[in-house]
Amino acid sequence: MKRLITPALGLMLASCSSLPIPLRDDDSGMKLARMTNRANDEQLTDAAVHEVLFAAYSRSRDPLMGGEDLEMINENLVRLRDRLGDERFAASLRRENPAVVSAVAWHLRPKASSGVFPISSEVLKQAPKKTFELEAAIARQ
């Protein structure tokens, strides 16, 4: 039995260590949601876009269910995609870790698939599906 547990534990830890370390939030998700307000910046730099996407990922790593903060993240992701346009949003997603793209797809659901944004919709669809703490907590409800 010990022989089976040790390799399984090692694989589990290795898969977790491949995920980016999320940003910490001591404000029940609102700090991360406010970070996604960068989608409204006058000048959308690559750094600002990354911050929005990474904040959405970080919120996915928090099992607290929430409401207003999740709505704000969703609205800001939609706004970001609208402002960047399909090609630039897709290019931004391609620069991110696949776990971040998976989290963005979850936050945008069902708006992740869109005929208006076919390139970014395809990038979101092709991202490896990961189930994060937030999604697991909501599924257990």
Task: Evaluate whether residue 81 is within a structural domain.
Answer: yes
User: Helices in the chain by DSSP H: which ranges?
Assistant: 2-17, 30-35, 46-60, 68-94, 98-108, 118-126, 133-139
Does a structural domain hold residue 72?
yes
- How many separate domains does the chain show? 1
What is the band of 79 on the pLDDT scale with cuts at 50, 70, 90?
A: very high
Residue 28 lies in a domain: yes
- Asked whether residue 6 is domain-assigned, the answer is no
Q: What domain range includes position 27?
A: 20-139
Residues 6+ apart with CB under 8 A from 122: 90
Is residue 116 assigned to a domain?
yes
Residue 56 lies in a domain: yes
The structure's pTM equals: 0.83
Residue 22 burial by Cβ neighbours in a 10 Å radius (0-12, 13-18, 19+)? buried
Determine contact, residues 45/4, Cβ cutoff 8 Å: no
The C-alpha atoms of residue 53 and residue 128 are separated, in whole angstroms, by 16
Q: What percent of the chain has pLDDT over 70?
A: 84
In a domain, 13, yes or no: no
Average pLDDT over residues 5-20: 52
Q: 10 Å Cβ neighbour count for 53?
A: 26
